[in-house]
Chains A and B, each alone.
Chain A
Amino acid sequence: MSLSAQLINGLALGAGYAVLAVGWTVLLGAARLVNFSHGQLYMLGAFTTWFVVAKLGLPYLVGIPVALLVCGALGLLMQLAMIRLTLDQKIVNLMVVTLAFGYLLQGGAALLFGGNPQRIDSPFEARSLALGVARFTQQDVLIVVAALVLYAATFHVLGRTGVGRTVRAVAEDPKLAQLYGINAARVYVGVFVFAAATAGLAGAVIAPRSPILTSIGFDEVIITFLVVVLGGIGSILGGLLAGLGLGLFVAVFGAFFPPAYSMAAAFAVLLVILVVRPQGLTAR
């Protein structure tokens, strides 16, 4: 493939990473929470879409909001179960609980959807476009559009509205915000549901590019982690740029080396950053 084709591919890949990571960026920035079941929610978003399209026979565009709702509802249940741990800021225990939830979701999905690889039949995947020599599908365009809209909306809501002010107040100082009359528990629930729903959205729009299995989701957590950390924890714009950057890196790396090692290479970069410049991890 030519370089321009790789760049187009990297752009679509990176936009997908950005969609995947936006929930985590907000979750970590606003609530100092991490959700290890993020990858499984992505998987569930993909399988919900597949179920709606393949089993219920509804159009793909109906599958996307259904996936969003299902994952958002699961996020709501999880956060309601964890609300006491969250308010006590038991970060370590919370992390392990979400890891356990992820494993539960994986087992449940395997029981529900079976162990065979599936393909989401998206009408956009079949239609390919060309830009010079580079070819791409409408699905790629959909992913890029979804990323831009999602980031613009998140940026606007967090930065310019009352809801955003409330979330930022809780992020700054939860105790003081509560004294001021803000319900921190409600903010935590809201942020967690947003993160879960966007993971579902990511599954619905990205997964048609390749076959899906109920065992996927672990790489997605690592991708999310890389994007969030490289973009600067809590930074929306940084997340978008880091997502696109990582996508381009993976696409270009995959052109020269076995693609299976691209994540390993990205991780090696992260390890070097950790050693050389650990303060980059806490920068806003």
Chain B
Amino acid sequence: MSALGSEVRSPAGSGGLDSLVWTGRRGPLRWGGRLLLIAVGYLLPWILGGSDRIVTTCVLIAIFAIMSYGLDLVLSYLGEVSLGHTLFWAAGAYLTAITAVRLGWSPMPALIAALAAATALATVLGIATIRTREFVFSLVTYAAAVIGLTVVSNSAVFGGTDGLVGIPLLSLPAVDGQYVARSNADFWPIAYLVLVLVIGLISRFRRSKLGVTALMAQMNPDLATSLGVDVRRTRVLVFVLSAPVAALAGWLYAYQRSYVSPDLLSPYFLLFMLTAVILPGRRLLLGPLVGALLLTSQQELASLGGDADKIVLGGVLAAVLLLSPDGLAGIWRRIIRGGAGREIRPARDEAERRA
């Protein structure tokens, strides 16, 4: 695994923190560390005081992090900027709302409908954009999201500009009957479990053949093609895979908020996803989680009001890309190396020595 890791490393997003989570020893010690991290993460709302506000913030962090992981797959590993991922996130939430409110479905069938709808949308969009790259790809996906907003705001099926209200409480089958999430504190275990599963999925993806192929197709498509990789197929596959991840977050959000409205397709969530992935640095396993944590904490606990928060979000994203395109990880790497060259090897060695 570590040999593979060094092979597929790209010059842009490598070394430093990346090595800490990507490579390293296998074995009981590592698994123990992971379990400890997962346990501490679970207890975080209570470690931070357990107030209602903290618990709500933690739930939102988990949901928004999952949403951002959807975009992360495309942005970090394919290297393409999809501006249409709000579509999949909204598809997840809307399908949940429609099936739960209108048809009275329970959460699990609603989840399957949500994932299926997002996957279908992504397949259509992925095939339509199969031969586009860079800005044309971004523009087409962006247009899809803006059109989605218009359609949703204007059609009765989706509840128009008011959206759909009255989504029932999230209730899942448990050992002793039903587990009903009546409050955000009840919601936290579910959101956290889904988050851990999604991070597990991303971690597997990074080591999978598809993940390696995607990175190769991003770094050198000609080389990938000459080695027998079907670059277009890889791009569509990763794009389609990313959609249900975002939809999963939409499913959670619909239940957490108990209503859906066209604001799910607003640029706010688009900017949020992009910033959550880019701010910590692309291609980091825990990057989107850290990004979602920073952004949600600011918006929930230190909000300056809606319009000023927009300036903060837009300003942070622009500043990162203009000053340090590799994000916080890039700044960190520059600090530990004291501004020395950009080679990969020394940083990796240092990271391994520390680990």
Interface residues of A (CB under 8 A from B): 34, 36, 81-82, 85, 90-93, 95-97, 99-108, 110-111, 218-219, 221-222, 225-226, 229, 258, 260-261, 263-264, 267, 270-271, 274-275, 278, 281
Q: Which residues of A contact B318 (CB under 8 A)?
A: 81, 97, 100-101, 104
Q: Is the CB of A267 within 8 A of B271?
A: no
Q: Is the CB of B81 within 8 A of A222?
A: no
Complex: how many Å from CA A96 to CA B35?
36
Question: Is there a chain A Cβ closer than 8 Å to B308's Cβ?
Answer: yes
Q: Is the CB of B314 within 8 A of A267?
A: no
Q: CB < 8 Å: which of B135, B143, B149, B311 contacts A95? A: B135
Range, interface on chain B: 35 or more
Q: Is the CB of A102 within 8 A of B314?
A: yes
Q: Decide: A107 near B154, CB < 8 A? Known: A85-B321, A92-B81.
A: no
Q: CB < 8 Å: which of B128, B146, B310 contacts A274? A: B128
Q: CB < 8 Å: which of B132, B149, B271, B308 contacts A278? A: B132
Complex: how many Å from CA A257 to CA B151?
13
Q: Is the CB of B146 within 8 A of A103?
A: no
Q: CB < 8 Å: which of A95, A96, A111, A278 contacts B131? A: A278
Q: Decide: A271 near B128, CB < 8 A? Known: A104-B315, A107-B314.
A: yes
Tally inter-chain residue pairs, CB-CB below 8 A.
126
Q: Is the CB of B79 within 8 A of A92?
A: yes
Q: Is the CB of A91 within 8 A of B140?
A: no
A-B pairs with lowest CB-CB distance, top 5: A107-B310, A104-B314, A103-B314, A100-B317, A100-B318
Write the B270-309 contact mask toward A (1 if CB under 8 angstroms, else 0).
1100110010000000000000000000000000001111
Q: Decide: A260 near B128, CB < 8 A? Known: A96-B278, A107-B308.
A: no
**Can you name 7 A-B pairs with beta carbons within 8 Å?**
A95-B138, A100-B313, A100-B318, A110-B306, A258-B154, A260-B150, A274-B140
Q: CB < 8 Å: which of B80, B270, B311 contacts A108? A: B311
Complex: how many Å from CA A221 to CA B139?
9
Complex: how many Å from CA A270 to CA B129?
11
Question: Is there a chain A Cβ closer than 8 Å to B127's Cβ?
Answer: yes
Question: Is there a chain A Cβ closer than 8 Å to B117's Cβ?
Answer: no
Q: CB < 8 Å: which of B136, B138, B150, B317 contacts A263? A: B150
Q: Is the CB of A99 within 8 A of B143?
A: no
